[in-house]
């Protein structure tokens, strides 16, 4: 190695070691976070840290537990979110690879040349060549490091998006299950009331035939009976549709959950005490807040990547090869002689100094996108707080209403018994019976609907608190079936073995990637 080459290598090493990174450093934007909930201290709500990882188990319903487990294994939307995590990790590998020599080539050729007679050459000849070349753009301004930062943040954002999909899927399964059980209960109530009203109709008809009552009572009884019977087909249709929706959430064909649902019955019971923690806990837990933060971090790095284009880029290129052949006595064996070796090495730089404002405007574009991401983060935080407060208010309200409606149903049952007895004994007209039975059916239906709403508002509360995603490392983001199919098509290396990153990545190193 000549003295000039040594001097150049030392200079390049010095540049690399002292290289700067242009662009802004990411600072998490301030977001207004309430210190306490507006309904803190409401009956049944506690600020102790909640157990949110498997919150649906508070209902103590084995059928529901199995439904959630099945959905998490088979849901297609969740599978797509997991594939996007793998995609983002592979993109990170591309970004990391760009920090190393960007072009490395091996080339060889064997060419037979038949010269024209006018050149004076007497015969054709073979020409042989074999060589390698490499080119490395030195990351002096941090262009590639910013690219890695952006890709790393995008990778973390994809994981947060997967966690958010998991939260929403869990909530959707529990909500669909509560809807199914609520409709089943409403259908049972409708059929029970048909029996009650049929009995009243029969009594009115007997009295009419015996001349003890008017036809008006008979027709009123018949109208109420038919009106109640008409609700049954609509409830049956809604129940079938709710079961089909639940089947699709589980990644199964419609009707596949019928046997499983038959193993249990009744609307899930809501526990008396619910732990909701503090607003700050909610923000740390919600995946969509973390996703918005990572998206802002990725956009911040792209500003620095664009700013690096303002400065010259420095590259080192070199090649080495052997060549032999010609019109003389040279043959293929001469390719490996010392005289056949040729090499070159040297620096270069490129500086697009006359770009008509394109580079600066690209920086402005990236900066505007960064500011959008920062404002979006603040908006996501505000919406998260609103969703949690709305869910708390809805849950408290429906539970209070449930207590009142339970007493209303008791009064309606007793009123129906008394009105029917007095009518049979001739102490009151049929209108009292009619009103009592209408009220009974109405209040029972309202109570059952409220029970379903109470479960759904609790689901909304747990979802708003960010519950339903596991926080352990090494999660499998795709099913075994999908993994096997992809590995048969493509060499995925170790990317599928341990996709979840460590949260404490503060040592300046990025995720390990597969070459």
Residue pLDDT, tens place only, 153-184: 999 999 999 999 999 999 999 999 999 999 99
Model pLDDT, residue 268: 92
Q: What is the pTM of this model?
A: 0.86
- Residue 292: the pLDDT is 94
CA angle 406, 410, 414 (to 5 degrees): 165
Check residue 152 and give its pLDDT.
93
Q: Which residue has the higher pLDDT, 469 or 197?
A: 197
The set of residues, in sequence order, having a beta carbon less than 8 Å from that of 192 and lying 6+ positions away, is none
Taking residue 389's Cβ as centre, other Cβ atoms within 10 Å add up to 16
Question: Distance between terminal CA atoms of the chain?
Answer: 31
pLDDT in tens, 124-154: 777 878 888 888 888 888 888 999 999 999 9
- Band of pLDDT at residue 116, cut at 50, 70 and 90: confident
Determine the Cα angle at 460 with ends 454 and 462, to 5°.
Answer: 105
The 8-class DSSP code of residue 380 comes to: H
d(CA 457, CA 454): 5
DSSP state of 65: H
**Fold assignment, 103-138+313-350:** Outer membrane efflux proteins (OEP) (2.20.200)
Q: What is the pLDDT of residues 323-347, one digit of tens each?
A: 877 665 556 666 676 677 888 888 8
- Kind and range of the H or E element at 134? strand 125-138
| Residue-level pLDDT at 76 | 94
Least-confidence region, from 44-48, 235-239, 367-371, 392-396:
44-48
Cβ within 8 Å of residue 369, ≥6 positions away = 299, 302
CATH 1.20.1600.10 for domain 3-99+140-311+357-489: yes
Task: Show me where the domains of the chain are located.
Answer: 3-99+140-311+357-489, 103-138+313-350
Q: Work out the number of other CB atoms within 10 angstroms of the CB of residue 433.
A: 27
Q: Per mean pLDDT, which range of 285-289, 322-326, 356-360 is the poorest?
A: 322-326
Residue 5 — pLDDT band, cuts 50, 70, 90? very low
Q: What is the pLDDT of residue 330?
A: 59
């Amino acid at each position: 190695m000549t003295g000039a080459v040594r001097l150049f290598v030392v200079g390049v090493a010095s540049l690399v070691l002292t290289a700067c990174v242009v662009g802004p450093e990411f600072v998490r934007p301030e977001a207004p976070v309430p210190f306490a909930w507006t309904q803190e201290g409401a009956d049944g709500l506690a600020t102790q840290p909640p157990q949110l990882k498997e919150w649906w188990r508070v209902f103590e319903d084995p059928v529901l537990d199995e439904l959630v487990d099945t959905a998490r294994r088979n849901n297609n939307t969740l599978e797509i979110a997991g594939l996007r995590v793998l995609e983002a990790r592979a993109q990170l590998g591309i970004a990391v690879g760009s920090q190393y020599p960007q072009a490395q080539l091996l080339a060889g050729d064997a060419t037979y040349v038949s010269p024209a007679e006018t050149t004076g050459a007497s015969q054709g000849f073979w020409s042989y060549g074999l060589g390698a070349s490499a080119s490395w753009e030195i990351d002096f301004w941090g262009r590639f490091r910013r690219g890695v930062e952006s890709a790393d943040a995008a990778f973390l954002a994809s994981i947060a998006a997967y966690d958010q999909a998991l939260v929403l899927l869990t909530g959707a399964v529990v909500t669909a299950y509560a809807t199914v059980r609520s409709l089943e209960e409403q259908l049972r109530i409708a059929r029970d009331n048909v029996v009650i009203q049929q009995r009243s109709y029969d009594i009115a008809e007997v009295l009419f035939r015996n001349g003890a009552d008017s036809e008006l009572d008979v027709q009123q009884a018949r109208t109420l009976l038919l009106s109640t019977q008409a609700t049954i087909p609509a409830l049956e249709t809604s129940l079938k549709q709710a079961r089909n929706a639940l089947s699709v959430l589980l990644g199964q064909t419609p009707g596949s959950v019928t046997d499983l649902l038959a193993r249990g019955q009744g609307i899930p019971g809501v526990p008396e005490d619910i732990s909701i923690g503090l607003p700050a806990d909610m923000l740390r837990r919600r995946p969509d807040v973390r996703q918005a933060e990572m998206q802002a971090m990725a956009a911040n790095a792209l500003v620095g990547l664009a700013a690096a284009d303002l400065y010259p880029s420095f590259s080192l290129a070199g090649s080495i090869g052997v060549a032999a052949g010609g019109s003389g006595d040279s043959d293929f064996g001469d390719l490996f002689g010392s005289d056949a070796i040729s090499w070159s090495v040297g620096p270069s730089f490129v500086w697009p100094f006359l770009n008509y404002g394109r580079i600066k405007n690209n920086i402005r574009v990236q900066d505007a996108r960064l500011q959008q991401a920062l404002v979006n983060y603040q908006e996501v935080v505000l919406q998260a707080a609103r969703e949690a407060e709305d869910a708390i208010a809805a849950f408290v309200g429906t539970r209070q209403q449930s207590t009142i409606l339970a007493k209303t149903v008791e009064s309606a049952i007793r009123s129906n018994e008394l009105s029917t007895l007095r009518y049979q004994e001739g102490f009151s007209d049929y209108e009292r019976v009619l009103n009592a039975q209408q009220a009974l059916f109405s209040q029972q239906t309202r109570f059952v609907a409220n029970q379903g709403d109470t479960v759904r508002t609790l689901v909304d509360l747990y979802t708003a608190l960010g519950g339903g995603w596991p926080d352990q490392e090494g999660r499998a983001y795709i099913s075994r079936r999908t993994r096997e199919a992809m590995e048969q098509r493509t060499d995925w290396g170790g990317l599928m073995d341990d996709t979840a990153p460590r949260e404490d990545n503060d040592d300046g190193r990025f995720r390990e990637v597969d070459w």
